[in-house]
Amino acid sequence: MTRAFTFPGQGSQAVGMGKELAEAFPAAREVFEEVNEALGQDLSKLMCEGPGEELTLTENAQPALMAVSMAAMRVLEKEGGFALADKAAYVAGHSLGEYSALAAAGTFTLADTARLLKTRGQAMQKAVPVGEGAMAAVLGLDFEEAKAVAEAAAEGDVCQAANDNAPGQVVLSGSKAAVDRAILLAKEKGAKRAMALDVSAPFHCALMQPAADAMAEALGNVTMRAPVVPLVANVTASAVEDPEEIRKLLVAQVTGMVRWRESVAYLAGKGVGQLVEVGSGKVLSGLAKRIAKEIETANVGTPADVEAFLKGL
């Protein structure tokens, strides 16, 4: 069966994530220790014990989610002799998950990935003063309808589609006043629900340009190798292998839209029969079922998941 490995984004974090993996497998503990050392921060303690509001801070959530994904990957490799290049045709990740995907595929070292995501989280947080930006989920409108709502609500401010997650699930991002207008307008246009999201900044919109500039500089200072399998990139929803092209796409991703619906459809079109979600939560598996019902899903985030997945290979 042709597989793609997918890696979750912000919102999948939870206090206690990775704890069972660390307790069960030395390989997982090694990953958490490497990340702690790279950041000069006891991130694994925060992941294990909380508090939740500190873990949810963008600069902590991003490297923490990557750490859990990479711990699960390292366990597959050490416990099951698993090699990504032999068992998967593609990798993809949702927003920050794209960095986890690239770490899994060997483009970045684990330490570089942790530092890049710390920088990314801090830069995204600083890009827009708290309270000036917002994001909203629009459910029940198709992508073109939701995009039209964003354009109509902008009125000279920034308001754009940030995540095209699944049919009828689009996230808008921009200045708070414009997003507030978009919520009202979406309801008028027949959305089942339109609601503000509890986020600290307006991700994946033009207001994030200062963060994109910061990432261009940070990415310019790290060594990047070609991934062992192609990455399906967020901003193009198509496969890429060239490190320089990946670098550009990661910068564009900060202000660009996460084309997740199209990415999963692309994978289905390439004959992928199973999406394996590696890390915390099952958000991407849920979205996949709505995008391409024919694709099987599997999760690798706990010791039981690891055992079941390796048995099924």
- Please tell me which residue in 44, 175, 204, 280 is annotated as part of the active site: 204
Rounded-to-integer distance, Cα 58 and Cα 68, Å: 16
Rounded-to-integer distance, Cα 57 and Cα 117, Å: 12
Nearby residues of 115 by Cβ (< 8 Å), 6 or more positions away: 38, 39, 218
- Please tell me which residue in 44, 69, 95, 100 is annotated as part of the active site: 95
100 is catalytic: no
Q: Which of 207, 209, 179 is nearest to 195 (CA)?
A: 179
Rounded-to-integer distance, Cα 97 and Cα 100, Å: 5
Rounded-to-integer distance, Cα 52 and Cα 18, Å: 14
Q: Read off the tokens for 234.
A: 């967020």
Strand order in the sheet with 193-196: 159-166, 169-175, 133-139, 193-196
Region for residue 230 given its phi and psi (left: phi exceeds 0; alpha: psi -120 to 50; beta: otherwise): beta
263 is catalytic: no
Each residue of 258-283: b (16+ CB within 10 Å) or e? Answer: bbbbbbbbbbbeeebebbbbbbbbeb
Pairing of strands 274-278, 296-300: parallel
Rounded-to-integer distance, Cα 78 and Cα 25, Å: 9
What are the catalytic residues?
95, 204
